[in-house]
Amino acid sequence: MKVLVTGGAGYIGSHAAQRLLADGHSVVVVDNLSRGHARAVQRLREHARNGDRLGFEHLDIRATDPIETLIREHRIDTVMHFAALTYVGESVEKPLDYYENNTAGSLSLLRACERSWSHAHGGVRRFVFSSTAATYGEPPADRVPIREDCPQNPINPYGASKLMVERMLRDSVAAAARSGSDFAAACLRYFNVAGADHTGLIGEDHDPETHLIPIAIQAAMGKRPGMTIFGEDYPTTDGTCVRDYVHVEDLADAHVTVMQKMTTGTCVAYNLGIGRGYSVKEVIAAVERVTAKPIPVRIGERRAGDPPVLFADPAKIRAELGWSASWTDLERIISTAWEWMRRNPEGYGR
């Protein structure tokens, strides 16, 4: 397939691009490089199997006309849409940035796809969207583990900005079906993505870093003096938030599985998680074991927008597509992140 990967210079998008190339697909990465790394794409070009099948366009997804042109010129048939702002805390501070980039940005991209249905090659037929468990908000205790039919009531602008895109996709698929256009969409609701490519070529490099596992590793490496646990008074066994950590390579694998099995006229949603939750304290203890280093920890205030417990019921994607996470051991997941950060202490470099 010929796949447009938006946000392909970012953490999850670059791993998806790597996997698509490995499977022999052609990939065009579109990234505005506001958070992504040109060096991630460069490394894939130079070292990945089929790296010569990877193109790169320094473009914003809101540039509808250039994206439509690119779809035409590269005869794109599939879009994997990762480009987004993704910090829950930041979204509470700057909600409009999230609606502008994530919601309006996706609208522009979708508009380019819609226009492409009249292109000679048939245009974009499959759209795989990076959605998030944050769309579920704070599910009642009896709805955890979370199934896809759990009510979606996001409690932060990040989750809300993504939920609107799910709705746009559903409506666009229905409209396409009515007009006879060949279009399908999938909304993949990620839980907490973690780890790095096991070969060490690409990995997670955020500035600033806000995610638990890389922060704990940086603290273990002495790159920061210590770390703060955001709240110890949640209604969980040890008082800290519980999350479902899914390996980034499993996530890439799920995207390819979904892409190959999409049915015209449908807009499906799947949870991507391992189906078990770990508390913040359990994660920190696991990082200490993997790195064999103590992590200085202080207990701080709750962070705005954090639900207490989020973990997936991943049964739907297993039953319908036969997919399940192969990395289910937290320490092994953390080991790949540790390996990446040890080999690339400055990430991709600045």
Residues that bind ligand UFG (CB under 6 A): 86, 88, 132-134, 191-192, 210-212, 215, 227-230, 241, 243, 280, 303, 306, 310
- Residue 34 or 260 with smaller CB distance to ligand UFG: 34
CB of 66 to ligand UFG, least distance (A): 27
Count of C-beta atoms within a 10 Å radius of residue 201: 19
- The C-alpha atoms of residue 343 and residue 119 are separated, in whole angstroms, by 45
**What is the rounded distance in angstroms from the CA atom of residue 187 to the CA atom of residue 154?**
16
Query: Catalytic residue among 98, 158, 245, 348, which?
Result: 158
Residue 309 gets which letter from DSSP? B
* Cβ distance to ligand UFG smaller for residue 112 or 334: 334
Number of residue whose CB is nearest ligand UFG: 241
Of the CA atoms within 13 Å of residue 327, those in its CB half-sphere come to 27
Phi, psi of 242 (to 5 degrees): -110, 135
Nearest distance from C-beta of residue 286 to ligand UFG, angstroms: 13
Shortest distance in whole angstroms from residue 210 CB to ligand UFG: 5
What radius of gyration, in Å, describes the C-alpha atoms of the chain? Answer: 19
Q: How far is 102 from 107, CA to CA, in rounded Å? A: 9
Q: How many residues does the chain have?
A: 350
Distance CA 301, CA 234 (A): 11
Residue 87 annotated to the active site: no
Closest contact distance (angstroms) between CB of 230 and ligand UFG is 4
CB nearer ligand UFG, residue 8 or residue 159:
159
Residue among 298, 327, 325, 330 at smallest CA distance from 314: 325
d(Cα 111, Cα 255) in Å, to the nearest integer? 22
Name the 3-class secondary structure at 336. helix
Q: How far is the CB of 297 from ligand UFG (least distance, A)?
A: 9
Measured from the CB atom, the residue of 6 and 86 that comes closer to ligand UFG is 86
- Residues that are catalytic: 158
